[in-house]
Amino acid sequence: MFISNAYAQAAQGDQVGNLMGMLPLILMFIVLWFLMIRPQMKRAKEHKAMVSALAKGDEVIIQGGITGRLSALGDDFIHVEIADKVEIVVQRTAITTVLPKGTLKTL
């Protein structure tokens, strides 16, 4: 009764405007997904596969940059021989890289 037809039509136009206002936010999320989130998930999956495939005698690099040969494996911890008769115990997730066989000659 107090609302004119023109005012009601303008309210419908605002709904389309709100959707267009959210479009940049949706596009930014899509870009962030493909540039940041997806590659990080892929890297985490590859690291998990590498850590689960570790075997005794593998030559590895630990997060701190220490290189060594795996001497014993446990569920959560790994013994890494870094020199003759010198072993350290690290978590499985601390392994960053598995080196090719024969890389470490001094052990």
Res. 11: pLDDT tops 60: no
Burial class (CB in 10 A: 0-12, 13-18, 19+), 47: middle
Q: Global pTM?
A: 0.70
55-99 CATH fold: SH3 type barrels. (2.30.30)
What is the spatial distance between Cα 63 and Cα 88, in angstroms, rounded to a whole number?
13
Question: To which residue do tokens 């940041």 refer?
Answer: 36
What is the spatial distance between Cα 44 and Cα 46, in angstroms, rounded to a whole number?
5
Convert 65-103 to b/e letters by CB count within 10 Å (16 or more is b): eebbbbeeeeeeebbbbbeeeeebebeeebbeebeeeee
Query: 82 Cβ partners below 8 Å, 6+ apart?
Result: 66, 67, 68, 88, 107
Q: What pLDDT digit, counting tens, does each position of 52-102 carry? A: 999 999 999 999 999 999 999 999 999 999 999 999 999 999 999 999 988
Res. 31: pLDDT tops 80: yes
Q: What is the mean pLDDT of residues 23-42?
A: 93
pLDDT value, residue 3: 60
106 pLDDT band, cuts 50/70/90, is: low
14 pLDDT band, cuts 50/70/90, is: low
